[in-house]
């Protein structure tokens, strides 16, 4: 029985992406990135809905078919229909995944595709890319703020960094809740995420402070905060917003840095803004100055370390 673990992040994943031979043809879609780059950082929880309902491998392939306005999941020749079995399993399985901090799905699958799943007409024609996998839909409905992504889309470095930023933040939130929700814990959490939120959505960030300042019931405030928090992080951070966050942090050092050091940091931030250097360059310089001139508030900012450097998520943009 799985449960949430503060010390180790658990991510759900389509079993075929881990090399398990569960596809309809008895094959797999093994992901070298997941196996080599991600496994040291996360505990994967593999799921294959088709195997879970006893279809076996190899097996007849299934697809989503629109029949009189209803989406059915069946074989191309119509001899197998597993709609009810899949829906029952997917809903029950999704209910038990509250310990996860993210999910990686296999694209185009009638069960695990996150988007653009082919949906066919009853006569077998069409294949319009308008569907969502039955299991993916159940997971996203049950946990609307859970970071989810399709493995193939992680080749886009901006999408990759955004996904794992959300995974670590989602896990951090639940670690905080596990310790016991208090107004101080909630306020401290918000303070630590100030510059990360500003880099993703300044507009949403400005709504979260007043929300915490209100006198509403604590659990309701926390739920509303989490909704805004995860919505903000889903916005991809822009160079403009990153530059603004970096310049705000730079202001904390103005009394301590020499003229040449100030110029060096300003130049690094400008070079990032212009796309000449990756974000890691000004971040590394700020970390260096922070060691020389400690500041508890800045040192606590998740923005400077939203995920391990070994994931190399800030090297390329």
For the stretch 257-300, pLDDT in tens is 999 999 999 999 999 999 999 999 999 999 999 999 999 999 99
64-73 confidence digits (pLDDT tens) = 999 998 999 9
Radius of gyration of the chain (CA): 23
pLDDT for res 315: 78
**Which residues, other chains included, contact 125 with Cβ-Cβ below 8 Å and sequence gap of 6+?**
none
pLDDT for res 316: 67
**Which residues, other chains included, contact 45 with Cβ-Cβ below 8 Å and sequence gap of 6+?**
2, 10, 11, 12, 13, 97, 100
Q: What is the value of pTM for the model shown?
A: 0.95
């Amino acid at each position: 029985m799985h449960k949430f673990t503060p010390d180790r992040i658990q991510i759900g994943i389509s079993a075929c992406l881990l090399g398990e031979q569960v596809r309809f043809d008895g094959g797999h879609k093994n992901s070298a990135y997941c196996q080599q780059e991600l496994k040291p950082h996360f505990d994967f929880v593999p799921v294959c809905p088709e195997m879970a309902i006893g279809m076996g491998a190899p097996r007849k392939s299934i697809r989503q078919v629109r029949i009189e306005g209803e989406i059915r999941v069946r074989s191309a020749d119509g001899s197998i229909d597993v709609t009810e079995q899949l829906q029952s399993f997917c809903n029950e399985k999704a209910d038990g995944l509250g310990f996860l901090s993210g999910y990686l799905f296999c694209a185009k699958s009638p069960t695990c595709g996150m988007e653009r799943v082919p949906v066919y007409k009853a006569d077998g024609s069409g294949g319009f890319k308008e569907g969502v996998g039955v299991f993916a839909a159940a997971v996203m409905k049950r946990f609307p703020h859970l970071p989810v992504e399709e493995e193939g889309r992680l080749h886009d470095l901006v999408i990759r960094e955004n996904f794992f930023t959300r995974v670590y933040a989602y896990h951090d939130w639940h670690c905080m809740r596990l310790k016991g929700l208090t107004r101080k814990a909630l306020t401290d959490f918000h303070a630590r995420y100030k510059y990360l939120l500003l880099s993703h959505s300044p507009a949403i960030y400005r709504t979260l402070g007043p929300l915490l300042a209100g006198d509403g019931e604590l659990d309701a405030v926390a739920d509303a905060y989490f909704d805004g928090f995860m919505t903000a992080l889903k916005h991809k951070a822009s160079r403009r917003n990153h530059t603004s966050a970096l310049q705000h942090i730079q202001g904390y050092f103005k009394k301590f840095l020499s003229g040449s050091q100030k110029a060096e940091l300003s130049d690094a931030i400008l070079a990032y803004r212009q796309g000449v250097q990756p974000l890691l360059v000004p971040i590394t310089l700020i970390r260096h100055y922070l060691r020389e001139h400690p500041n508890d508030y800045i040192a606590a900012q998740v923005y400077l370390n939203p995920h391990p450097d070994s994931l190399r998520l800030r090297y390329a943009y």
